Amino acid sequence: MSLTFDCADPIERAEGLDTAVDSIRRGELVVMPVDASYGLAADAFQPAAVDALAASKGRGRDLPIPVMVGSWSGLDGLTLLVQPEVRALVEAFWPGPLTLVIEHAPSLAWDLGDDRGAVSIRMPTHPVALELLARTGPLAVSGANRTGTRVPLSAEDAQEQLGYAVSVYLDGGPCIDPSPSTIVDVTGPTPVLLRRGKVSLRQLQEVVPELEEGGRPRQAT
């Protein structure tokens, strides 16, 4: 059975967040608004939960699941060293549509897929997602859709695709700007723009002038 909560109602929002936190801790799946679309979330540190997320989407291990954090400091515990240029990008564009591909700390007890030592990470803008992340810590989050189908712009869209595979749907209203996030690889000596998105190359280079465009990703994002 799935539960849906209207987060426009303060009482339902509080109840929905409490229920979502409990579901995440049990290794279940939650759908939440992240900014441009809806995301499917699981505890990043429960491999069985991440496997369930991938299975519900029909996603293989060759496409590792990205991670979302609820604060700038959320990056610190996931990598051995945050370089100054990475910190500058985070402070300029988080929360927001900037995904960073980082080398994750090898000691992390997670299995997001065949990640080759790297993880895609970002901080969403939607207040419901940020509140949930503040209570759960980092979450594995991918689009709340079956692989190869449309990205959902509402909780109803997500439920049509994922149904009872999800325990909790947090309905934050329709998403009106489905522009993709910009992806920057910071695993090498120089940051590299991998995918153009809402944050432009010019905006990035205003913060990190040495940032380049092109290159091949360390992992699928």
Q: What is the pLDDT of residues 143-174, one digit of tens each?
A: 999 988 988 999 999 999 999 999 999 999 99
Residue 143 has which token pair? 């689009």
Residue 198 pLDDT: 92
Flag whether 221 is in a domain: no
Residue 217 pLDDT: 46
What is the pTM (predicted TM-score) of this model?
Answer: 0.91
Flag whether 145 is in a domain: yes
Residue 163 pLDDT: 95
Could you list the residue range(s) of the whole structural domain that residue 161 is in? 3-209
Flag whether 68 is in a domain: yes
Flag whether 124 is in a domain: yes
Residue 215 pLDDT: 53
Flag whether 219 is in a domain: no
Is residue 18 within 8 A of residue 168, CB to CB? The reply is no
User: H-helix or E-strand containing 159?
Assistant: helix 155-162
Q: Please provide the DSSP assignment of 77-121 as one string.
A: GGSS---HHHHHHHHHH-SSSEEEEEEPPTT-----SS-TTEEEE
Residue 219 pLDDT: 42
Q: Which residues of the chain have pLDDT under 70?
A: 215-221
Label residue 58 left, alpha or beta by phi (over 0 means left) and psi (-120 to 50 means alpha).
left
Flag whether 106 is in a domain: yes
Flag whether 217 is in a domain: no
What CATH number should be reported for the domain holding residue 129?
Answer: 3.90.870.10
Domain count across the chain? 1
Flag whether 85 is in a domain: yes
